[in-house]
Chain A
Amino acid sequence: MSDFTIDSLHAALRGLSTRQRVIANNLANSETPGYLAGTVSFEDSLRTAMRRGEPKTAAVSQGTSANPAFVNGNNVELDEETVALLETGMRYQLLTQAVSSKYSIIRTAIGRGA
């Protein structure tokens, strides 16, 4: 069953899980010489897709961070990545909760309870 809100949430969850993977990779390579931190962006694409009424078409794009590199060519900012990891995790939690709560309302209306 398709619902605009559930589709939007689903698209956002896809973006967030990609971001989580990229951040984990950045943290693993925080000392690797020459490694450039990866970034993930999907919010703008999702916003435009939602305005068009087709959240499923939102695209998740990956890029590299423009932060200046340290002496060994690595540009991973440890504080940024740690906080981003935390933030992405909590957003993921919030959105999965939002999806569950939508389905539980539908189930309540059907009469089967949460």
Chain B
Amino acid sequence: MSMFGMLDTAASGMRTHRVWLNAVSDNIANISTYRPMDEAAYQPRYVDAQSLPGANGQYNGANGGVGVRQILFGDPEGRVIYSPDHPLADENGLVRAPDTDLGEQMTQLMMAQRSYQSNSTVILRAKDMYQQAMQIGRG
């Protein structure tokens, strides 16, 4: 762990949560993206995060922070809805809508934003601590 390990950890947190925010905003933007029945629906993105091991390869609480292991995609079947006037509807009037729950996405949005903010606060506090340490013995 480097001298300023706390900053690296918090930065990894901010990066991961920003990826989460991006994914959620993607999902929300595509909430009305319909696809014809013969194609896969828009698949909502889910971020799979994992804790990263520390510098010596072991997780001992003294951190490598968090990272994105992979992006998972939701159900390609989607929700089949009846919308006969839609240009992409098939002969039965069905289209594929994404299997996204707007309420759940909004909750995730709030959680991601809060976590992003908390990590940013960690950086500020860590910076204060480091600067305090650098005052030892002066003056």
Binding site for B on A (CB under 8 A): 77, 79-80, 83-84, 86-87, 90-91, 93-94, 97
Would A86 and B15 count as touching, CB distance under 8 A?
no
Contact B123 A83 (CB under 8 A): yes
Known: A77-B15, A90-B127. A83 touches B7 (CB 8 A): yes
Q: How far is the CA of A94 from the CA of B138 in the complex (A)?
A: 12
Whether the Cβ atoms of A79 and B7 lie closer than 8 Å is no
Is the CB–CB distance between B134 and A83 below 8 Å?
A: no
Kindly list chain A residues whose C-beta atoms are within 8 Å of the C-beta of B11: 79-80, 83-84
Q: With A and B bound together, what is the CA distance between A91 and B3 in angstroms? A: 9
Bound complex: CA A83 to CA B18 (Å): 15
Measured CB to CB, the closest approach of chain B to A79, in angstroms, equals 4
B28-66 interface mask toward A, CB cutoff 8 Å, 1 = contact, 0 = none? 000000000000000000000000000000000000000
Complex-state Cα separation, A84 to B127, whole angstroms: 12
Which residues of chain A are near B14, meaning CB under 8 Å?
A: 79, 83
Q: What residues of B have a CB within 8 angstroms of the CB of A91 in the complex?
A: 3-4
Q: Min CB distance, A103 to chain B, in Å?
A: 15
Q: Which residues of chain A are near B15, meaning CB under 8 Å?
A: 77, 79-80
| Residue picked from A77, A83, A94, A97, most chain B C-beta under 10 Å | A83
Say if the beta carbon of B131 comes within 8 Å of chain A: yes
B94 contact set on A, CB distance < 8 A: none
CB–CB A90/B4 < 8 A: yes
Q: Could you list 9 examples of A-B contacts with CB < 8 Å?
A: A77-B15, A79-B11, A83-B11, A84-B11, A86-B123, A87-B7, A87-B8, A90-B131, A97-B134
A106–chain B nearest beta-carbon distance, Å: 17
Shortest A12–chain B CB gap in Å is 12
Known: A77-B15, A80-B15, A83-B8. A93 touches B127 (CB 8 A): no
Contact A87 B18, CB 8 Å, known A93-B134, A94-B134, A97-B134: no
Given contacts A90-B4, A90-B127, A90-B130, 9 further A-B contacts (CB under 8 A): A80-B11, A83-B7, A86-B7, A86-B123, A86-B127, A90-B131, A90-B134, A91-B3, A94-B3
- CB nearest neighbor in B for A94: B134
